[in-house]
């Protein structure tokens, strides 16, 4: 059975590697360190969920999410925010961007992170959103 696919967007390379090590047993994980590389990855590899920080160097996640919303296929990718400023966001404020969960970096454990990702993936597949088998961007 194929493992679910997680696209991790994190500009802190140490944290990205730490998250990768924590998730690789249960998920197939690809790392992007900047928003510009997301679309290149998705040309050949479709994630079941994107796990993303909000602050990405000089950019922020919402610039990317606005762009993703402009395409029919990428607007369907479920998003999980993992940020140290998570408390600044309300779920209803980010729902339009396909954000399914908001997690705080300061409070997260590997177990809670895995459970949250599985929960989002399972709920998204039940809702009929695009899955990894549907292919990559055209």
Query: What's the distance, CA 80 to chain centroid?
Result: 5
The domain spans of the chain are 5-134
How wide is the angle at C-alpha 3 spanned by C-alphas 54 and 116, nearest 5°?
A: 40
Instruction: Per-residue pLDDT tens, the chain, 138 aa: give them.
Output: 589 999 999 999 999 999 999 999 999 999 999 998 999 999 999 999 999 999 887 888 988 999 999 998 899 899 999 988 877 777 777 888 899 999 999 999 999 999 999 999 999 887 765 444 444 443
Beta carbons within 10 angstroms of residue 18's beta carbon:
13
Domain 5-134: CATH superfamily is: Response regulator (3.40.50.2300)
pTM of the complete model: 0.87
Q: How far apart are the first and last CA of the chain?
A: 26
User: 3-state SS of 50-80?
Assistant: EEECCEECCEEHHHHHHHHHCCCCHHHCCEE
């Amino acid at each position: 059975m194929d493992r679910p696919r997680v696209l991790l967007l994190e500009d802190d390379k140490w944290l990205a590697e730490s998250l990768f090590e924590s998730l690789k047993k249960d998920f197939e994980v690809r790392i992007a360190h900047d928003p510009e590389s997301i679309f290149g990855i998705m040309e050949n590899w479709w994630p079941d969920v994107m796990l993303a920080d909000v602050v990405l160097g000089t950019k922020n996640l919402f610039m990317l999410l606005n762009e993703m919303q402009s395409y029919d296929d990428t607007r369907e990718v479920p998003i999980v925010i993992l940020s140290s400023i998570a408390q600044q966001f309300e779920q209803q404020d980010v729902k339009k961007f396909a954000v399914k969960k908001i997690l705080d970096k300061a409070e997260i454990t590997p177990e809670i992170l895995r459970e949250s990702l599985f929960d989002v993936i399972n709920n998204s597949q039940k809702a009929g959103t695009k899955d990894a088998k549907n292919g990559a961007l055209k």
